[in-house]
C-alpha cells in the first residue's frame, strides 16, 4: 500500500539555470501538490510527458529524494520517520538500472539480500525460484559484464525481488529495451499483481498502460491532471484512441 | 556496522576484479622500483664497461719537447695518439668526430717544464662527450704529478712541502643520519605518492563510477543509511591506498637489496627501515589516507562520470607532490609551523624519525592535525554524498 499526500518537490535553481529557463524564481517546482493511493493487488500507473515529474515522484516514493512538503506512507510506514524500514518493503527497477559488471548474478543477489537482512535460507529459496522462473541457471556464475542485455534484465528483476518487497516501483521499466526483454518486465509486473503486491509504474507508452494498468494518475508540469481507474479513463474518453485521449488531457492542462 | 561491512566486502570484491586496479594498485607499485633499479644499474654498468673498452683517438700538435709526454701516454691501453700539423684541421676533426680529442702543446712546453714555469697545453674536446675528456684528464694529471715529483727532487724537498697542513676528518654522523638527511625525503614521498594514486582509482570508481553505471539508485533504495554507504566505501578507498603504498615499500626494499651496496650501507638502510619507523609512518599515513579520500570523494560524488572525476582529480596529484617534496630540501625541518601543514608534516616527521632526532610533541601535533583534517574532509564528503542534487546529478 502506498499513500502519497500533498507531495511537493522543489529544486533550488542556480544563476545559470535561472538564465537558461528565463525565470527569476529561486526554485523549480517539479512536483506540485500530488496525492494518490496505490492498493495491494492492483497496478497503478503514473503517466505524463517528459519532465512532468514522474521520476521525481517515484524517487520520493522510493526514498531516494526527500519531499519538500507532504507525506508518504509505504505499508503504513512514514518514510520520513523510518526510511530504512520503508526501504525494506520496496523493490525499485528502472529501464536504465545498472548492475555491477564485475560481479556474478549470484554475488549481486547475495549483496542486496544481505543489505535487506534476508536470512540465508530465505535467500537460497528466493534465488532458486527466480533462477528457475527466468532460466538463469546457465549464467548464474558468469560475470555480469559478459551477459546479454536480456540476461542482465533478468538479473535486475531477480535483484529487485530478492527481498520479497510488498511494494514494487518501476520507473519507465521498458525504456530502451527490446520487445523480448520488455516482455520479462511485463510478466514480472503481472506476477506481482497475482502475488497481491502494490505495483506502481511510470510510463508514456499507452499500449503498455492499457495492457497492465488498473488505476492511473496523469501528471503534467508536476500537477495531477487525471486520477481514476483505467475503466473510468476509458469511459470518459473524448478521443478515439488512448494515446489521443492522453494527449488531449495534457494539452488541455497546458 | 554489519551493513558497513557488507558494503566494504562487496566493494573490495568489485575492485579486486578490476584489471585496472590490479595493475595500478599492485603490479606497478611492486615492480616499478626493482625495474627502475635493474634497468639503471644495467645501463650504468654497460655504459662504463663500454667506455673503458672503447679506444680514444687523441690528435696532437707536438713540439719536439713534448715527445716524452706523448710517448708515456701512448703506453696506456685503449688510447691512440695521432700527430697533426694544422691546428684548424685538428679542431675540425674533433668537431666532425673523426677523432675524440685534440691536444696542442705549446712550443716551449719542455723548456717551461724544466725551468719551473707552468708548461702549457690546450685540450680540444666536445662538451657533449665529456666522459672522453675525463678519461684523458687522468693521463694528463699523471703527467702533472711526474713534473711535480721531478721538481721536488731537484729542490731536495719532500712532497709534504707542498701540503703544509692536512685535516684528519672525523665524521661523527652515522651513515643512517646522512642517509636520513639527504635521502630521507624519498621514503615518505614514495609512500605518499602511491597512497594518493592508490586512493584515487577506487574513489573515482566507487562514487562517480557507480553513478555512471546507474547502480547508485539501487543502492540508495536499499535499507542502508548514506553514512553507512559512505563509510563502507571510505574503508575500501583508504585500504586500497594504504595497500598500494605498502606494496611500493616492499618493491623499494626488494630493489635496495638488488643494489648489492656495501654491507655498512645495507645495515644503515635496514636500521632506517625499522619496525618503529614503519609503524610510525603508518600511524601518520592512516589519517592522511582518510584525508586524501575525504578530498577525493566529494569531487567523485559531484562528477557525472568516471572520466569527469579523473580529469578533475589528476591535477590534484601535482598539488600533493609539491608539498611532499619538502623533504628533499635539507634545511626544512619539522617545527611548530610545519607540523600543521598536511603532507609536509608527514614527510618531515618521517625524516626526523629516520634521523633519530624526532620530537615527540611535534609528531603528536602532526598526528592530531591530520586527524582533524581527515575529520573535516570526511564531514564534507558526507555532506556532499547526502546532497540529492549532487548524488543524482
- pLDDT tens for B286-338 read 999 999 999 999 999 888 888 899 898 888 888 887 888 877 777 778 888 88
Contacts of A121 (CB under 8 A, 6+ apart): none
DSSP-derived letter for residue A42 is S
pLDDT of residue B229: 93
- Our CA-based measurement puts residue B210 at a distance from the nearest CA of chain A, in whole angstroms, of 8
DSSP of B124-187: E--GGGHHHHHHHHHHHHHHHHHHHHHHHHHHT--GGGT----------S-HHHHHHHHHTTHH
Between B7, B215, B221, which is nearest A63 by CB? B221
**Mean predicted confidence (pLDDT) in A190-209:** 85
- Of A69, A72, A50, A63, residue with least CA distance to A4: A72
Candidate from A224-228, B75-79, B228-232 with smallest mean pLDDT? B75-79
- Cβ neighbours, 10 Å, residue B261: 13
> Residue B66: pLDDT band by 50, 70, 90 thresholds?
low
pTM here is: 0.79
Cβ A103–B14 below 8 Å, yes or no? yes
Contacts of A16 (CB under 8 A, 6+ apart): none
pLDDT digits (tens, 9 = 90+) for B26-56: 888 888 877 877 787 777 777 777 777 788 8
In terms of average pLDDT, the best of A73-82, B24-33, B62-71 is: A73-82
- Please state, in angstroms and rounded to a whole number, the distance separating the CA atoms of residues B216 and B208: 9
User: Interface pTM (ipTM) of the complex?
Assistant: 0.87
pLDDT digits (tens, 9 = 90+) for B86-143: 889 999 999 999 999 999 988 888 778 777 788 888 999 999 888 888 888 888 888 8
**Chain B (188-217) residues lying within 8 Å, Cβ to Cβ, of chain A:** 213-215, 217
Does residue B169 belong to the interface with chain A, where contact is any CB pair within 8 Å?
A: no
Does residue B388 belong to the interface with chain A, where contact is any CB pair within 8 Å?
A: yes
pLDDT of residue B259: 67
Locate B313 and state its grid cell: 582529480
Cβ A64–B215 below 8 Å, yes or no? no
pLDDT of residue B175: 72
> Which domains are delineated in chain B?
2-33+174-391 (no CATH), 55-161 (3.40.1710.10)
Cβ A100–B14 below 8 Å, yes or no? yes
Interface of chain A toward chain B, CB-CB under 8 angstroms: 11-12, 59, 62-66, 84-85, 87-88, 90, 92, 94, 96-103, 107, 111-112, 114-117, 143, 159, 169
With a pLDDT cut of 90, the percent of chain A lying above it is 22
Q: How far is CA A150 from its chain centroid?
A: 19
- Reduced to 3 states (helix: H, G, I; strand: E, B; else coil), residue A237 is coil
pLDDT digits (tens, 9 = 90+) for A36-50: 888 888 899 988 888
Cβ A98–B17 below 8 Å, yes or no? no
Between B14, B222, B388, which is nearest A115 by CB? B222
Cβ B221–A159 below 8 Å, yes or no? no
Cβ B218–A159 below 8 Å, yes or no? yes
Nearest residue in chain A measured CA to CA from B10: A111
pLDDT of residue A62: 87
Amino acid at each position: 500500500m502506498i499513500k502519497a499526500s500533498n507531495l511537493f518537490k522543489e529544486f533550488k535553481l542556480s544563476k545559470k539555470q535561472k538564465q537558461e529557463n528565463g525565470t527569476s524564481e529561486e526554485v523549480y517546482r517539479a512536483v506540485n501538490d500530488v496525492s494518490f493511493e496505490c492498493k495491494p493487488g492492483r497496478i497503478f500507473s503514473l503517466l505524463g510527458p517528459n519532465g512532468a515529474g514522474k521520476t521525481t515522484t517515484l524517487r520520493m516514493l522510493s526514498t531516494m529524494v526527500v519531499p519538500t512538503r507532504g507525506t508518504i506512507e509505504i505499508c503504513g510506514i512514514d518514510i520520513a520517520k523510518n526510511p530504512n524500514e520503508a526501504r525494506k518493503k520496496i523493490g525499485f527497477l528502472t529501464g536504465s538500472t545498472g548492475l555491477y559488471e564485475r560481479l556474478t548474478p549470484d554475488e549481486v543477489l547475495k549483496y542486496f539480500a544481505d543489505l535487506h537482512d534476508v536470512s540465508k535460507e530465505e535467500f537460497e529459496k528466493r534465488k532458486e525460484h527466480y533462477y528457475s522462473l527466468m532460466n538463469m541457471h546457465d549464467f548464474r556464475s558468469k560475470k555480469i559484464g559478459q551477459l546479454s542485455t536480456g540476461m542482465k534484465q533478468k538479473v535486475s528483476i531477480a535483484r529487485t525481488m530478492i527481498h520479497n518487497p510488498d511494494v514494487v516501483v518501476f520507473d519507465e521499466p521498458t525504456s530502451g529495451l527490446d520487445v523480448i526483454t520488455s516482455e520479462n518486465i511485463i510478466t514480472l509486473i503481472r506476477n506481482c499483481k497475482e502475488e497481491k503486491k502494490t505495483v506502481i509504474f511510470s510510463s508514456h507508452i499507452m499500449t503498455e498502460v492499457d495492457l497492465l494498468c488498473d488505476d492511473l494518475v496523469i501528471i503534467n508540469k508536476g500537477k495531477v491532471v487525471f486520477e481514476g481507474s483505467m475503466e473510468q479513463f476509458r469511459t470518459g474518453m473524448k478521443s478515439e484512441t488512448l494515446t489521443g485521449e492522453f494527449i488531449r488531457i495534457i494539452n488541455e492542462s497546458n | 556496522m554489519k551493513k558497513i561491512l557488507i558494503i566494504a566486502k562487496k566493494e573490495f570484491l568489485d575492485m579486486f576484479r578490476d584489471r585496472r586496479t590490479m595493475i595500478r594498485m599492485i603490479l606497478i607499485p611492486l615492480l616499478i622500483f626493482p625495474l627502475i633499479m635493474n634497468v639503471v644499474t644495467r645501463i650504468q654498468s654497460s655504459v662504463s664497461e663500454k667506455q673503458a673498452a672503447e679506444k680514444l683517438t687523441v690528435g696532437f700538435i707536438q713540439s719536439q719537447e713534448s715527445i716524452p709526454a706523448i710517448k708515456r701516454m701512448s703506453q696506456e691501453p685503449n688510447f691512440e695518439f695521432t700527430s697533426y700539423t694544422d691546428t684548424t684541421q685538428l679542431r675540425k676533426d674533433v668537431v666532425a668526430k673523426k677523432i675524440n680529442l685534440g691536444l696542442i702543446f705549446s712550443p716551449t712546453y719542455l723548456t717551461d717544464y724544466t725551468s719551473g714555469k707552468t708548461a702549457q697545453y690546450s685540450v680540444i674536446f666536445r662538451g657533449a662527450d665529456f666522459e672522453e675528456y675525463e678519461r684523458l684528464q687522468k693521463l694528463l694529471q699523471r703527467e702533472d704529478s711526474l713534473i711535480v715529483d721531478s721538481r721536488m727532487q731537484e729542490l731536495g724537498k719532500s712532497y709534504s712541502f707542498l701540503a703544509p697542513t692536512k685535516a684528519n676528518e672525523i665524521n661523527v654522523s652515522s651513515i643512517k643520519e646522512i642517509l636520513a638527511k639527504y635521502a630521507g625525503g624519498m621514503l615518505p614521498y614514495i609512500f605518499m605518492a602511491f597512497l594518493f594514486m592508490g586512493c584515487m582509482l577506487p574513489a573515482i570508481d566507487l562514487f562517480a563510477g557507480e553513478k555512471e553505471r546507474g547502480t547508485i539508485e539501487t543502492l540508495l533504495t536499499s535499507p542502508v543509511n548514506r553514512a553507512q554507504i559512505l563509510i563502507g566505501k571510505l574503508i575500501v578507498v583508504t585500504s586500497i591506498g594504504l595497500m598500494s603504498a605498502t606494496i611500493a615499500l616492499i618493491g623499494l626494499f626488494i630493489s635496495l637489496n638488488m643494489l648489492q651496496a656495501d654491507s655498512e650501507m645495507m645495515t644503515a638502510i635496514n636500521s632506517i627501515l625499522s619496525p618503529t619507523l614503519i609503524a610510525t609512518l603508518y600511524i601518520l599515513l592512516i589519517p592522511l589516507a582518510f584525508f586524501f579520500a575525504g578530498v577525493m570523494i566529494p569531487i567523485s560524488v559531484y562528477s557525472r562520470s568516471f572520466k569527469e572525476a579523473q580529469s578533475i582529480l589528476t591535477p590534484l596529484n601535482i598539488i600533493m607532490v609539491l608539498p611532499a617534496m619538502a623533504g628533499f630540501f635539507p634545511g626544512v625541518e619539522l617545527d611548530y609551523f610545519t607540523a600543521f601543514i598536511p603532507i609536509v608534516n608527514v614527510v618531515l616527521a618521517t625524516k626526523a624519525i629516520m634521523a633519530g632526532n624526532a620530537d615527540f610533541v611535534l609528531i603528536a601535533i602532526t598526528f592530531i592535525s591530520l586527524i582533524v583534517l581527515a575529520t573535516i574532509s570526511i564531514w564534507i564528503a558526507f555532506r556532499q554524498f547526502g546532497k540529492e542534487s549532487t548524488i543524482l546529478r
